[in-house]
């Protein structure tokens, strides 16, 4: 297939591009490289050294003989340019990663909130709008988030996208309906993913677009089969308080003898998936498209759930790292359960990678290799959800609260 990967320079987009190119697909990356500009804004860099996208694709061609073509387009701002590209190339499938992906970054300030909403919502709508205008029957796969569901618990497993409910009619009888699972976003970033859901529902219903929405858990790990082939193909690896995901952050903190930062009680339960499984799920979704006229196909793209404090204790046992409990910069329940259905990918043949000591050690080894690139002042999570919470957030990595650990 000819596949357009929007945001293909990013944390999940890059290994996905390599994975699909390795299978013989014609891969085109469309990206505005905004994630690299955000690194410059935040004064932080990927733990792993990243070459330019042009150099990365050159190395991939050198190692495999397969070409990945890069196109510098801002799909949220350059609608006509993007529409022109789609009209010329008419891909068979489009994989949409082109959104600002960090909840903490989306809550840093009013301008960061505006940027996240404008970028994410416009990118999604420009894509859908252009597909309709061009009569482009491509399978659209979107990388969403488990965060659209929120983290509250009602004593039942979260279904894959849709919920069966009974509605009381005017005559007093019950009528069964299947609705989109109620959205409960926990940040501006998560809110934009909820807006994406509604846009997908409308365009599938109104224009019969074929859409798959993947509600993904927190991604951990560094390598995939393809990124191991050459040191310059390595994926980016974020450790800072805005973009670093919790498990990867713990592993890096352990590698540089920094306390594992648990915010609040650590009783928050999160869904997780390894980066190799993430690209495999995208491949499975690509192989199983909905038919024209079908409703949006929704998968829960996760493999396991863990409490944050349990992860910290696991890493502490593995590495000897201490644990520091700090005020929570997020506005969320102190404790929650999370039970999630993920039958569809398992039925399609996914063999999940779980938190095994060997893979965790692999991440620690990567962190130790590039420890010289770590700026400890960027490790604390300082983006607060409200002004009141901000007053208690710890900005100083040398503060006694980080020196006095359990």
Burial 15-54 (b: 16+ CB within 10 A, else e): bbbbbbbbeebbbbbbbbebbbebbeebebbbbbebeebe
Residue 193 annotated among the catalytic residues of the structure: yes
- Cβ–Cβ under 8 Å, residues 81 and 73: yes
Question: Of 57, 145, 222, 245, which residue is the catalytic one?
Answer: 145
Question: Of 105, 115, 151, 189, which residue is the catalytic one?
Answer: 189
**What is the distance in angstroms between the CA of the first residue and the CA of the last residue of the chain?**
53
> What CA–CA distance (Å, rounded) separates 286 from 327?
41
Question: Of 83, 108, 113, 193, which residue is the catalytic one?
Answer: 193
Residue 145 annotated among the catalytic residues of the structure: yes
In this structure, the number of other CB atoms found within 10 A of the CB of residue 126 comes to 20
Sign of the four-CA dihedral 57, 145, 137, 127: negative
Tokens read off for 88: 């010329």
> Cβ contacts of residue 228 below 8 Å, gap of 6+?
none
Catalytic residues: 145, 189, 193
């Amino acid at each position: 297939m000819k596949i357009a990967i929007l945001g293909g320079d990013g944390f999940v987009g890059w290994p996905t591009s390599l994975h699909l190119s390795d299978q013989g697909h014609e891969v085109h990356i469309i990206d505005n490289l905004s994630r690299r500009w955000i690194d410059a804004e935040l004064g932080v860099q990927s733990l792993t050294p990243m070459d330019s996208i042009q150099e990365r694709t050159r190395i991939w061609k050198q190692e495999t003989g397969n070409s990945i073509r890069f196109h510098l387009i801002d799909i949220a701002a350059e609608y006509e340019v993007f529409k022109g590209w789609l009209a010329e190339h008419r891909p068979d499938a489009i994989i949409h990663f082109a959104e600002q992906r960090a909840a903490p970054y989306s809550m840093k300030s009013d301008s960061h909130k505006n940027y996240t909403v404008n970028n994410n919502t416009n990118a999604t709508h420009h894509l859908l709008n252009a597909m309709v205008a061009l009569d482009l029957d491509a399978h659209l796969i979107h990388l969403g988030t488990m965060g659209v569901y929120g983290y509250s618990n009602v004593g039942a497993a979260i279904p894959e996208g849709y919920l069966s409910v009974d509605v009381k009619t005017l005559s007093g009888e019950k009528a069964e309906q299947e609705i989109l699972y109620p959205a409960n976003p926990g940040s501006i970033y998560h809110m934009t993913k909820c807006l994406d859901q509604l846009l997908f529902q409308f365009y599938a219903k109104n224009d019969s677009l074929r859409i798959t929405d993947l509600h993904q858990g927190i991604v951990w790990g560094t390598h995939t089969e393809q990124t191991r082939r050459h040191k310059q193909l390595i994926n980016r690896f974020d450790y800072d308080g805005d973009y670093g995901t919790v498990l990867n952050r713990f592993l890096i903190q352990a590698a540089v003898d920094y306390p594992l930062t648990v915010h609040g009680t650590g009783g928050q339960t999160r869904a997780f998936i390894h980066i190799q499984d993430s690209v495999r799920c995208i491949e499975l979704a690509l192989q199983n498209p909905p038919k024209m006229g079908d409703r949006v196909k929704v998968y829960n793209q996760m493999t396991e759930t863990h409490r944050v404090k349990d992860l910290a204790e696991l890493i502490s046992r593995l590495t000897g790292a201490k644990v520091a409990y700090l005020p929570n910069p997020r506005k969320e329940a102190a404790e929650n359960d999370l039970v999630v259905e993920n039958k569809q990918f398992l039925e399609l043949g996914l063999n999940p990678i779980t938190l095994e000591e060997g893979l965790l050690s692999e991440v620690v080894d990567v962190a130790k290799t590039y420890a010289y690139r770590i700026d400890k002042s960027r490790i604390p999570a300082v983006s607060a959800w409200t002004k009141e919470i901000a007053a208690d957030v710890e900005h100083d990595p040398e503060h006694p609260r980080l020196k006095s650990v359990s």
